[in-house]
Amino acid sequence: MVIKLALLPGDGIGPEVVAQARLVLEAACEAFGHELQTREMNIGGAALLASEDPLPRETVAGCLASGAVLLGAVGAPRFDAYPPAKRPESGLLRLRRELGVFANLRPAVCLPSLEALSPLRPEIVRHSDIMIVRELLGGLYFGERSTEGETGSRRARDSMAYAEPEIERIARVAFQLARARRKKVTSVDKANVLDCSRLWREVVGRVGGDFLDVELSHMYVDSAAMALVARPSEFDVILTENMFGDILSDQAGAVVGSLGLLPSASIGGKVGLYEPIHGSAPDIAGQDLANPLGAILSSAMLLRHSFQLEPEALAIESAVREVLGAGKRTRDLAASGQAFIGTREMGKLIVGRIRTSRPAAHTSGC
């Protein structure tokens, strides 16, 4: 199979982690007999500096001509003074809209070798395996907004809006994922206050009627935030809207130990978009200190969801688990006084695991 990817390294540590993910993908493709074709393009601050546009037209065209997109990170303090439409983050929001990706999948798994990283007691976080399904193209982030008045008396407004079809399509993604997992969906809203959430709850309940083998429960977002800390292992699939999902997925990352470990997949549109959920971390950029595992695990999700290459995805995930199980840590994962390795060394070790564990089954998709 020819696997054609658009690589958007972006800002800060983005180029470093994308470089390691690309090397891991090359190793997996070699092991399974695929041909990997990649093309790098600008987004975010890097694009602003090169073209005064956080999402150049040629980047959009290149992404739409690819089988999937792998993104590093966008943003840096130097761009905070730019007007909203010119900030790096606006380029990312526009890219999501251009690709039509409405479903963001964010797994948060507590690995046995990393239980000590969680701020929670091991017996609370142990066995946590959560999939957060976040609606990505609606809500406050895409609603009408305005700022009016003179300095000192200005009034700003952001509007949250959802239509029934938008809710239904993301709900179906969540139920289908749950059906292949532990068959539990927790829908998170604020239906005691918001009209949007009341509609959300009604539509999700209706869709649940088509998935009677999946247990559906509803929670207010504040209750869900508390439950994620008190009993994270009880969650299976969390379904929620855009802003709530943004917040809860970061919280889940902290619960299982580190945002640096967590991948994400944005699917449902013309081309899938894959990215680690950590930020650009400009304070450590270029120092070989970044954790590339979120990007590497995002590449596994890319193979699974955009190319239906499950054995290849599992090979990458198994390699990550083996390297961590052997005690190898980047700085963010190391305990106080524990030796750690750099970005490039972590990538090299995972590539080595893939290349030295080539079972006969590594022939799928040829």
Q: Give catalytic residue positions.
A: 141, 190, 222, 246, 250
Helix (H) or strand (E) holding 106: strand 103-109
SS3 call for 94: helix
Cα–Cα distance measured from residue 115 to residue 124, given in angstroms and rounded to the nearest whole number = 10
**DSSP track, 16-47:** HHHHHHHHHHHHHHHHHT-EEEEEE---HHHH
**DSSP track, 150-166:** -TTS-EEEE-----HHH
Cα–Cα distance measured from residue 88 to residue 18, given in angstroms and rounded to the nearest whole number = 18
Tokens of 122: 């091991």
Can you list the alpha helix ranges (DSSP code H) found in 186-342?
Answer: 195-208, 221-230, 242-256, 293-307, 310-325
Cα–Cα distance measured from residue 302 to residue 67, given in angstroms and rounded to the nearest whole number = 9
Contact 324, 114 (CB under 8 A): yes
Cα–Cα distance measured from residue 55 to residue 60, given in angstroms and rounded to the nearest whole number = 7
Rg, Å, the chain Cα set: 20
Contact 43, 314 (CB under 8 A): no
Question: From residue 230, how far is each of 123, 124, 247 by CA, in Å?
Answer: 11, 7, 17
Identity at 366, one-letter amino acid code: C
Residues 6+ apart with CB under 8 A from 338: 329
190 secondary structure, DSSP code: -
Tokens of 261: 């470990």
Cα–Cα distance measured from residue 297 to residue 340, given in angstroms and rounded to the nearest whole number = 20
How do 2-10 and 68-73 pair as beta strands? parallel
Helix (H) or strand (E) holding 123: helix 122-125
